[in-house]
Structure 1
Amino acid sequence: MNALVRREAHGTSLWHAVSRSRRERPALQGEIDVDLAIVGGGFSGLSTALHAAGKGLSVAVLEAEFIAWGATGRNAGFVVPNFAKMDPDDILAHLGSERGERLIDFAVGSADLVFDLIRRHGINCDALQNGWIQPAHSLAAFEKVKSRAGQWALRGRPTVTLNRQEVEALTGARGYAGGWMDRSGGVLNPVEYARGLAGAAEKAGARIFEHSPVASIDRTAEGWTLKTPSGSVHAAKVLIATNAYGGPLNPSLQRTYFPLKVFQIATAPLPRETRTRLLPGGQGVGDTRRNLFTFRFDAENRLISGGMHILGAAADTRVPQAIWRRLGRHLDLPDLPPLAYSWSGMAAVEPDFLPHLIDLGPGLIAGRACNGRGIAMTTAMGKVLADWAAGTDARDLPLPFAPPAPIPFHAVLRHAPNVLLGWSMLRDRLDG
């Protein structure tokens, strides 16, 4: 196999390259007054804008670059309605019965919300709600996913446990001990989805400004003032929805999560005869390995996968090639088409891998709901944050809400996910 990648595509996400609905929005000029100002034009900010404007609030979204520039346009397009590390029983033990059940209910309908918005607003983003599959890479992992499927089934989710043969038939991947599927999950083009949310928010009355980086957020008697290079916004409430792309806007936020650089690749389109063996139903796949193995197809039969990297030089070249080789090996594709696109993005990972709302002052909140489940969770977070913007006490929302909790020794520990990846890969091999 030869992992040649077109140099002009290196660093450009597949979704930005193939999407055609891009339109320029103006930068903020002058002063405006709104009920809610949102910093960041990704899934969480746009979903909040859409739902808040739908409640009759005046809303302004300030995006430093352009819509879907950050992690929103750099992910793989999986819609996954559960948490990366915690199952319902774990959440109840972690948060208690009342808070835990509310957070579980929040996640239960998250994927359905995404696909309902797509249908309701006519968003053309190659959406397919055929399920999300998690194969188990070992017998121990299979026991765990059987429990996981059962716990979500008790909450009304359309889950099913899969044996070894069923995993192979659904995915085309051999060697798994079994797995499970949530039929409410799926895949989409994240850039087109974000642009569709932006258009729907504007139709509802929200104003979206691109190329408008926020330099400061200052408390006033009436609320907050946000300043950009060419204007300012006076708002009663403010949401910081930048996830891992906030920069120096609020240094205390940067110490509350682990920044994780994730690489994605897309091959050239696969031949039809190969495509019919792999994922004939078009689902998304993310297995139970610590060094997570994912794959899916886009609308043009390009095979997409992702991964992390151990700290080292030339990662932008080395890691995509390693992911491409892994893809061919795990899917038994000696003639895997060459790389067509490779790109990377930053994810914000909470210590407990759960969504959080961070209290930064009266009427000022930061929201983070990614942890590898960005599309479903951030869309759902936007809906509940619209309730907060309309007057609901943040403590009554289903997401954990607290002041910033800096991670001790963050300057060192922020590198832990990458440093420990080699050990995780070894443990995966020992499990197998």
Structure 2
Amino acid sequence: MSGISLWQAVAQGRRDRPALDGSANADLAIVGGGFSGLSSALHAVAKGLSVVVLEAEAVAWGASGRNAGFVVPNFAKRDPDDIVAELGRERGERLVDFAAASGDLVFELIRRHAIACAADRSGWIQPAHTEAAFAKVKARAAQWAKRGRPVEVLDAQQVEALTGAGGYAGGWIDRSGGVLDPVVYALGLADAVEAAGARIFERTRVTAIRRDAGGYRLATAKGEVRAAKVFVATNAYGGPLFPQLARSYFPLRVFQIATRPLPMAARLRLLPGNQCVSDTRRNLFTFRFDADNRLISGGMHIFSPGAAERVPRAIHRRLAEKLDLPDIPPIEHAWSGLAAVAPDFLPHLVDLGPGMIAGFACNGRGIAMTTAMGAAVADWAAGADPEALPIPYAAPRAIPLHGLLRHAPNALLPWSMLCDRLDETGAG
């Protein structure tokens, strides 16, 4: 861990929630106090269920508080038509509709619960780094457009005008996306959950889950929760409690940095509409600003000693180069977090036994997808057939040779960087 995130550092008025001391009963117990756990709690309470949320650290301690605050209502590396071809028309379109509406749900919850998380539905832009990539994003945008989404193809001049970054062949924008402060968003969801009547316990690590006649018993250091159903919302932070889950995804460590605030002249040139950007490179280039004009970007790392110091410096140099910022302000915050990446780059609900499921692998689309996942989990908790939910549902499926391949996304970074360079020189 390279440090606390920008969002955790600047959060104001955070209040501690108590640890569980004693016993509690609920219709639904949720393990994990991030976006998916909090959203599922909020939607389950609205359906009349009693809910207890158990968080091992603090609300938004994990990936929910360590991302860049992008709201992106579509899939990483997958397009609607190929999802429909893989899953079939009914299931495929159901999942596509789920993703398309995920940003709508995020911004509606913010409005409904008056969450002051610097939310701006300004749009998400994906610039294409080559002509071949531009052809792919034009096809991608067309697939979302035919489903009624507010998307638009951008030529090279439009990309540069909107982003301030030159050298792209073109791109597209999904105007239903945007930016927010993820920690304040999570804390606002937690406040709404408690106001609705659910209970949240922080610093309450679940040490064992046992099935009994009434459902499940969740043991903690100083107490126990008995619940009819359990939702495991730990994403890549499940630890030894759920080894069968850990073998079903690739854990991806991502670093983020935030600079000191940019001078106004540079700020007005870059992202004047305050969108967020992630391009088509294999070694993804991303950037956005926070409400105080700090420039935020992220990246992966190659496994070697000193990554916590080396990788943020590399991200900083890349920002200066790609955005033509010779006098870029220094790094003010640097941090890292874990994401769960599924082999098929789709979100999944995992059957852990009668009345217990897990949800994970939103593959870099965490804020939008996990919020929407919460609504689906609440339907399941209230009695819906899991096969009818919009997210693929199945028993855990271990990745073959997982022990060897679990770090493949990070280990393959040098190859990805080489391929990007070959693409841009026309040698690929």
TM range (shorter): over 0.9
Note if 1:15 corresponds to 2:7.
Answer: yes
**Where do residues 317-396 of structure 1 align in structure 2 (5 Å cutoff)?**
317-396=309-388
The code of the aligned residue for 2:334 comes to: S
1:116 partner SS: helix
Q: Which position in structure 1 is the counterpart of 2:253?
A: 261
The code of the aligned residue for 2:39 comes to: S
Note if 1:421 corresponds to 2:413.
Answer: yes
1:369–1:377: 8 Å Cα contact kept in structure 2? no
> 1:154 and 1:206 mapped to 2: Cα distance?
40
Note if 1:227 corresponds to 2:219.
Answer: yes
1:57 is displaced (CA, Å) by 0.5
- Specify which of 116, 137, 158 is matched with residue 145 of structure 1: 137
> 1:412 and 1:165 mapped to 2: Cα distance?
44
- Specify which of 142, 147, 172 is matched with residue 155 of structure 1: 147
Q: Which position in structure 1 is the counterpart of 2:273?
A: 281
The code of the aligned residue for 2:224 comes to: S
**TM-score, normalised to structure 1's length?**
0.97
Note if 1:304 corresponds to 2:327.
Answer: no
The code of the aligned residue for 1:77 comes to: G
1:44 is displaced (CA, Å) by 0.1
> 2:147 and 2:336 mapped to 1: Cα distance?
35
> 1:418 and 1:360 mapped to 2: Cα distance?
28
1:31 partner SS: strand
Q: Which runs of 4+ in 1 moved over 3 A?
A: none
The code of the aligned residue for 1:316 comes to: A
> 2:245 and 2:50 mapped to 1: Cα distance?
26
1:291–1:425: 8 Å Cα contact kept in structure 2? yes
1:369 is displaced (CA, Å) by 4.2
> 2:13 and 2:336 mapped to 1: Cα distance?
22
**TM-score, normalised to structure 2's length?**
0.98
**Which whole-Å deviations, capped at 9, do the CAs of 1:101-150 have from their partners, x for residues lacking one?**
10001011100110010000000100000100000000000000000001
1:22 partner SS: coil
1:81 partner SS: coil
The code of the aligned residue for 2:105 comes to: L
2:339–2:361: 8 Å Cα contact kept in structure 1? no
**Which whole-Å deviations, capped at 9, do the CAs of 1:41-72 have from their partners, x for residues lacking one?**
00000000000011110000000000000000
> 2:382 and 2:410 mapped to 1: Cα distance?
40
The code of the aligned residue for 2:214 comes to: E
- Specify which of 305, 314, 319 is matched with residue 313 of structure 1: 305
2:258–2:296: 8 Å Cα contact kept in structure 1? yes
2:218–2:225: 8 Å Cα contact kept in structure 1? yes
**Which whole-Å deviations, capped at 9, do the CAs of 1:308-336 have from their partners, x for residues lacking one?**
01111100000000000000000000000
In the alignment of these two chains, the number of paired residues is 424
What runs of 5+ residues in structure 1 fail to find an aligned partner?
1-8
Identity %: 70
> 1:97 and 1:70 mapped to 2: Cα distance?
35
Q: Which position in structure 2 is the counterpart of 1:170?
A: 162
1:369–1:381: 8 Å Cα contact kept in structure 2? no
1:131–1:184: 8 Å Cα contact kept in structure 2? yes
1:10–1:341: 8 Å Cα contact kept in structure 2? no
2:350–2:393: 8 Å Cα contact kept in structure 1? yes
> 2:370 and 2:92 mapped to 1: Cα distance?
18
2:269 partner SS: coil
Q: Which position in structure 2 is the counterpart of 1:216?
A: 208
1:32 partner SS: strand
> 1:268 and 1:396 mapped to 2: Cα distance?
47
CA RMSD of aligned residues (A): 0.8
> 1:224 and 1:27 mapped to 2: Cα distance?
20
What runs of 5+ residues in structure 2 fail to find an aligned partner?
none
Note if 1:402 corresponds to 2:387.
Answer: no
**Which whole-Å deviations, capped at 9, do the CAs of 1:370-391 have from their partners, x for residues lacking one?**
2000000000000111011111
The code of the aligned residue for 2:114 comes to: G
> 1:274 and 1:86 mapped to 2: Cα distance?
34
Q: Which position in structure 2 is the counterpart of 1:3?
A: none
1:236 partner SS: strand
Q: Which position in structure 2 is the counterpart of 1:188?
A: 180
**Which whole-Å deviations, capped at 9, do the CAs of 1:215-274 have from their partners, x for residues lacking one?**
001010110000000110000000000000000111111100000000000000000011
- Specify which of 41, 44, 59 is matched with residue 52 of structure 1: 44
1:10 is displaced (CA, Å) by 5.4
